[in-house]
Structure 1
Amino acid sequence: MKVLLSIKPEYANSILDGSKHFEFRKSIFKREDIEKVVIYATKPVGKVVGEFDIDGVLSLEPSELWEETKHHAGISLSFFESYFTGRDKGFAIKVKNPVRYREPFDLNQVVSNGAAPQSYRYL
């Protein structure tokens, strides 16, 4: 099973070039059979640009999560702290085998209404 995630273009590029090994989320999908993430790069790109395999999901208190991921987080500590402010728990999806599509494509080719997910969408 795959899940579609909306990711800011700079972070999508960092995942696909192999420098960002974790995708951080405030909430995570409920299903346990998710094996792959399809990446929708948000505006101004506005295209489905690639995918990666999930190599596990960390679920920790934010300070512990940062300690586990900081060397390959692909984001600054200040952004991380701002993102998880007021949260007791954070999630980090471990990226494995990122693949950039040769030709990015429109969202309506995978989602019938063409609407980007606020957090995630099962495919």
Structure 2
Amino acid sequence: MTTLKRALLLSVHPQYAEAILLGTKTVEIRRQRVAVEPGIPLILYGTSPTKALLGAARIATVEVGHPDAIWELHHEHVGVDRVVFDRYVQAAPEVTALGIEEPITFAEPIPLARIRRALEFRPPQSYQYVSDSFVRDLVLRYPVAKELTKLMTESR
């Protein structure tokens, strides 16, 4: 068993976070390159109006390519239609497709206001890396986040 040094914290619109956690959206698209390796834990932050950590998953695959190529490969798994996809990736020369597996919904969301009372935390605009110490602090303060411990310590 090895301990991972970081996790990827993604800000996601609540409806897409819910689809990821339900397993109906298994690919998340980002307009910029995301330098992450498969196997790394993923923490989902639901943006406004939810403003809470909602669950976790694991990055299964990472692909970077032209938006049209990524659409051809993953359109059945991105959770949006072509019009929404094209609007999101507009003018991006390349996008990152993050394959997602092992979604875990927290027993209860961890609201931003609660996190800020205990930890220095600012939700990312798109994504940020968080250390294992951030995750340990989160788990110690919020038992509903215990599921993260498994993702952070499982060897892949």
Residue matched to 1:21 = 26
Contact 1:2 1:34 survives alignment (8 Å): no
Q: Distance in 2 between matches of 1:7 and 1:23?
A: 9
Moved over 2 A (4+): 28-34, 106-114
Q: Secondary structure at the match of 2:98?
A: strand
Q: Distance in 1 between matches of 2:38 and 2:115?
A: 23
1:1-123 alignment, distance < 5 Å: 1-32=6-37, 35-107=40-112, 109=115, 112-123=119-130
The 3 A distance-change label for structure 1 pair 34 and 109 is: farther
Q: Distance in 2 between matches of 1:78 and 1:31?
A: 27
Q: Secondary structure at the match of 1:53?
A: strand
Q: Which has the larger radius of gyration?
A: 2
Q: Which has the higher helix share?
A: 2
AA aligned to 1:109 is I
Contact 2:34 2:96 survives alignment (8 Å): no
CA-to-partner distance for each residue in 1:30-82, whole Å, 9 max, x for gaps? 35477011000011111100011000111010000000001111011101101
Q: Distance in 2 between matches of 1:28 and 1:73?
A: 17
Between 95-104 and 33-42, report the one with greater CA deviation: 33-42
Contact 1:5 1:39 survives alignment (8 Å): yes
Question: CA offset at residue 28 of structure 1?
Answer: 3.3
Q: Which has the higher strand share?
A: 1
- RMSD, aligned CA: 1.9
Contact 2:36 2:62 survives alignment (8 Å): no
Q: Secondary structure at the match of 2:125?
A: coil
Question: CA offset at residue 27 of structure 1?
Answer: 1.4
Gaps of 5+ in 1: none
Q: How many corresponding residue pairs?
A: 123
